[in-house]
Structure 1
Amino acid sequence: MTIRDTPEEWEIRATETPFVGNKTSVRTDEVVMPDGSVVRRDYQVHPGSVAVLALDDADRVLVLRQYRHPVRRKLWEIPAGLLDVPGENPLHAAQRELYEEAHVKAEDWRVLTDVYTTPGGCDEAVRIFLARGLSDAEGERFTAEHEELDLELARVPVDELVRGVLAGELHNNCIVVGVLSLVAARAGDGLDALRPALAPWPARPFEA
């Protein structure tokens, strides 16, 4: 038996969008269940995101600390951001986020993993990249606004992040998944065996 997620779409009898926000919306679908009953399912419609686990030559990960209002916490995270345009190349979006949030560029890019953050209530898909060969970016720094005005940057050893994840001290989805995926990749076939940066992404198709 192959353990693999597969595409499937059950019949939708009706759909409506009761809320449209600046970046996301809420959709209500009437979905036919296997027994023929019809139930309503509400979920957030999301454009998708990218995140970057940027690893330097000293085996430290570039992290940032940012206030997240919905959970009323400052969270340590890895650079991340929305896919601004439908069909946007996720690698280009990831490179943009690393530049804007940390003013850093990277020479080597791989796909670390792809995840759905909360598939029971949101269709957000995130591609997490591994970026290596880090150096300071050229050009002007991105002008921060809103929560990013209070942004803190740090470089933290991988082992310390793993400890924080397992101790329940780090909670952001992308940093947890990214760090543990990095450790798993190292214990498996190695980082150079990861998928190439432009590997297909069925959840958010793009033009290479």
Structure 2
Amino acid sequence: MELKDTPEEWQVTATATPFRGNKTSVRTDDVVMPDGTVARRDYQVHPGSVAILALDDSARVLVLRQYRHPVRHKLWEIPAGLLDVPGENPLHAAQRELYEEAHVKAEDWRVLADVYPTPGGCDEAVRIFLARDLSEAEGERFEVSEEEADMELARVPLEELVRGVLAGELHNNCLAVGALSLAAALNGGSVDALRPAEAPWPARPFEA
């Protein structure tokens, strides 16, 4: 048995889009099951996202605290954002989000993990980057609004994030996956084995 996710697509006999939003939509598919029956599946159609675990020279991670209305919580998160343009290079999107949310740039970029956060109800794919060799970005800070206007920034030791995830105190998916992935990579001795920043991403193909 090869422990590897594989592409597969079951037959769809009918499809509809009952809701279209600004960035996402809801799709309803009638899917043929292995026993021949047809089951209806509703799911969110999502453009995809990037997230950035930015690690400074003191082994601290740049995090932000933001209100998330669907879960009625202020969550500690890592910088993240949508792929705004189909086929957009995820590295470029990540660099933009790090600048806009934290006014920070990084010289060293690698891929930490590629995940489907909620594959039972959404087709969102997220690429989580590791960014190192941080410095403050040039120019004026990006103007924020709405929930981001209330956003807090901090730098927290990686081990404190891992502790918080395992204690059930930190719940953001990208923060949890990013922190645990980096801890695992460091426990293996080095991050040099991580994939390069421009590694292929079949879930959201892009041009280099």
TM range (shorter): over 0.9
Q: Secondary structure at the match of 1:119?
A: coil
One-letter identity of the residue aligned with 2:68: R
Provide the C-alpha distance between the structure 2 equivalents of 1:188 and 1:17, rounded to a whole number of angstroms.
45
Q: Determine the structure 1 residue equivalent to 2:65.
A: 65
One-letter identity of the residue aligned with 1:16: A
RMSD after superposition: 0.6
Provide the C-alpha distance between the structure 2 equivalents of 1:192 and 1:78, rounded to a whole number of angstroms.
22
Aligned length: 208
> Deviations along 1:61-100, whole A, 9 cap, x unmatched?
0000000000000000000000000000000000000000
List structure 1 segments (4+ residues) > 4 angstroms apart after TM superposition: none
Provide the C-alpha distance between the structure 1 equivalents of 2:159 and 2:3, rounded to a whole number of angstroms.
29
> Deviations along 1:6-40, whole A, 9 cap, x unmatched?
00000000000000001100000000000100010
One-letter identity of the residue aligned with 2:33: M
Identity fraction in percent = 82
Residue correspondence of structure 1 range 1-208 to structure 2 within 5 A: 1-188=1-188, 190-208=190-208
Provide the C-alpha distance between the structure 2 equivalents of 1:129 and 1:170, rounded to a whole number of angstroms.
19
Provide the C-alpha distance between the structure 2 equivalents of 1:121 and 1:37, rounded to a whole number of angstroms.
20
Q: Secondary structure at the match of 1:193?
A: coil
Gaps of 5+ in 1: none
Provide the C-alpha distance between the structure 2 equivalents of 1:115 and 1:188, rounded to a whole number of angstroms.
21
TM-score by length of 2: 0.99
Q: Cα 1:189–1:12, aligned 2, differ >3 Å: closer, same or farther? A: farther
Provide the C-alpha distance between the structure 1 equivalents of 2:157 and 2:189, rounded to a whole number of angstroms.
21
Provide the C-alpha distance between the structure 2 equivalents of 1:190 and 1:32, rounded to a whole number of angstroms.
45
TM-score by length of 1: 0.99
One-letter identity of the residue aligned with 2:127: R
Provide the C-alpha distance between the structure 2 equivalents of 1:190 and 1:96, rounded to a whole number of angstroms.
27
Q: Secondary structure at the match of 1:130?
A: strand
> Deviations along 1:126-175, whole A, 9 cap, x unmatched?
00000000000001110000000000000000111111001100000000
One-letter identity of the residue aligned with 2:199: A
Gaps of 5+ in 2: none
Q: Secondary structure at the match of 1:192?
A: coil
Provide the C-alpha distance between the structure 1 equivalents of 2:80 and 2:181, rounded to a whole number of angstroms.
16
Using the TM superposition, give the Cα deviation of residue 188 of structure 1 relative to its aligned residue in structure 2, in angstroms: 2.2
